[in-house]
């Protein structure tokens, strides 16, 4: 079943495609990419662009009152992320502390914000993190991204937006399929362990805190998603939720996906057959729901413990195939309270066309072959396609 909040929502509309970062567009419904600096952010839905120079400075504000300011400081402006964080502390006369850490080999700082802003007290979080640039090598300082997510003091309802906005930052292209900086800072992955994959007799390397961190990400993003239950942006928020889970899970599942491909693809099989083997695997899972929570089993636990609902299974299936370089997506329906996997593989069967591709449909909760879909769920107008790449 689909998560509790979205079960009772109205019908679906087509997917909104990703847009490039631009100061000219007043509303950004999808991930924002800077071709100049290489970073990507995926702000919660509804944030409007309110200022900046369109190159290295951007400001946004949400309908709920959350603010998000972003600035890139070029190489040589500061010697380190710590130096920038210390300067921000001084300039804002900030009352909060800074925590210094390393995010995927890059210096970073997380700042608790509490400062006077235009005569009133603001609270939130700030992130400083290094960026990559071709000219930055050796001991030469790198460009540094500063992002401040804040709002009126005492507004605890804004904290979920601040956390989600900052965690959505991917400082470099290599970070776009990896856990975000705030989740990574709070839940370090720990030591690698070799664990059995559910139901297959195969094993894979998994880091000791991956399942806990992945579930924390799911719960945090669901906390944001449920705030759009009565919003006209509920479809975009729904899409963003799955994008966030996909990004957080991709690297965590890398060794599991490799072990599965080695198990199923030696000797080599067609992409269609590989998709079928992965489909049979997730179809064997125990059906599980959490009606009191996010109703979504994180993908690490799903793979290791063989349990999950339709959207957990569909997303896990999509990630495993994407690791094998097979284009995938998922589709979800509030009308049918269901989710299914999609793959760009040849062959007969039911297809769902969106974003210029005719995707083969995969039912992950019933023991049927790819391309088969129940007749009472076959109306394409009631499905919403979701891309991840």
In a domain, 225, yes or no: yes
Which residues are 61's β-sheet partners? Answer: 48, 67
Say what the pLDDT of residue 101 is.
97
Say what the pLDDT of residue 23 is.
26
Is the same domain home to 222 and 313? yes
Cβ contact 383:352 at 8 Å: yes
Say what the pLDDT of residue 135 is.
54
In a domain, 181, yes or no: no
Is the same domain home to 209 and 73? no
Cβ contact 78:128 at 8 Å: no
CA gap 301, 380 in Å, rounded:
31
Tokens of 198: 């559910």
In a domain, 54, yes or no: yes
- The model's pLDDT over 85-138, given as tens digits with 9 standing for 90+, comes to 999 999 999 999 999 999 999 999 999 999 999 899 999 999 999 998 655 456
Say what the pLDDT of residue 294 is.
63
In a domain, 311, yes or no: yes
Cβ contact 147:68 at 8 Å: yes
Closest by alpha carbon to 251, among 301, 202, 164, 180? 180
Number of domains in the chain: 2
Is the same domain home to 284 and 161? no
Domain that holds residue 97: 43-167
Residues of the chain with pLDDT under 50: 1-28, 136
* Cis peptide upstream of residue 256 (ω within 30 degrees of 0): no
Pairing type for strands 32-33 and 19-20 reads parallel
- State residue 166 phi and psi, 5-degree precision: -70, -40
Q: What is the CATH number of the domain that holds 375?
A: 3.10.620
Say what the pLDDT of residue 311 is.
94
Cβ contact 205:196 at 8 Å: no
- The model's pLDDT over 210-268, given as tens digits with 9 standing for 90+, comes to 999 999 999 999 999 999 999 999 999 999 999 999 999 999 999 999 999 999 998 88
In a domain, 11, yes or no: no
């Amino acid at each position: 079943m689909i998560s509790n909040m979205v079960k009772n929502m109205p019908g679906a509309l087509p997917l909104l495609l990703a847009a490039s970062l631009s100061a000219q567009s007043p509303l950004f419904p999808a991930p924002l990419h800077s071709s100049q600096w290489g970073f990507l952010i995926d702000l919660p839905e509804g944030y409007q662009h309110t200022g900046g120079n369109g190159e290295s400075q951007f400001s946004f504000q949400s309908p709920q009152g959350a603010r998000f300011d972003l600035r890139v400081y070029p190489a040589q402006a500061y010697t380190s992320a710590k130096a920038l964080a210390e300067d921000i502390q001084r300039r804002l006369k900030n009352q909060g502390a800074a925590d210094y850490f390393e995010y995927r080999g890059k210096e970073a700082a997380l700042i608790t914000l509490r400062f006077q802003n235009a005569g009133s007290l603001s609270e939130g979080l700030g992130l400083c993190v290094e960026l990559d640039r071709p000219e930055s090598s050796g001991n030469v300082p790198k460009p540094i991204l500063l992002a401040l997510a804040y709002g009126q003091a005492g507004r605890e309802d804004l904290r979920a937006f601040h956390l989600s906005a900052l965690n959505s930052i991917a400082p470099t292209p290599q970070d776009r399929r990896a856990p975000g900086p705030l989740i990574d800072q709070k839940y370090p992955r720990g030591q690698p362990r070799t664990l059995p994959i559910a139901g297959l007799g195969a094993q894979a390397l998994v880091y000791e805190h991956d399942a806990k961190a992945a579930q924390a990400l799911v719960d945090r993003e669901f906390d944001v998603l449920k705030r759009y239950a009565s919003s006209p942006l509920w479809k975009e928020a729904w899409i963003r939720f799955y994008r966030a889970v996909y990004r957080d899970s991709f690297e965590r599942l890398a060794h599991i996906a490799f072990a599965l491909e080695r198990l199923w693809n030696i000797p080599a099989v067609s992409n269609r057959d590989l998709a079928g083997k992965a489909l049979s695997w997730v179809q064997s899972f125990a059906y599980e729901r959490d009606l009191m929570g996010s109703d979504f089993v994180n993908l690490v636990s799903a793979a290791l413990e063989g349990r999950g609902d339709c959207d957990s299974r569909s997303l896990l299936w999509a990630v495993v195939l994407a690791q094998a370089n097979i284009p995938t997506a998922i589709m979800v329906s509030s009308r049918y309270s269901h989710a299914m996997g999609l793959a760009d593989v040849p062959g007969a069967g039911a297809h769902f066309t969106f974003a210029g591709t005719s995707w083969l449909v995969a039912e992950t909760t019933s023991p049927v072959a790819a391309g088969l879909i129940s007749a009472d769920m076959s109306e394409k107008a009631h499905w919403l396609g979701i891309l991840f790449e």
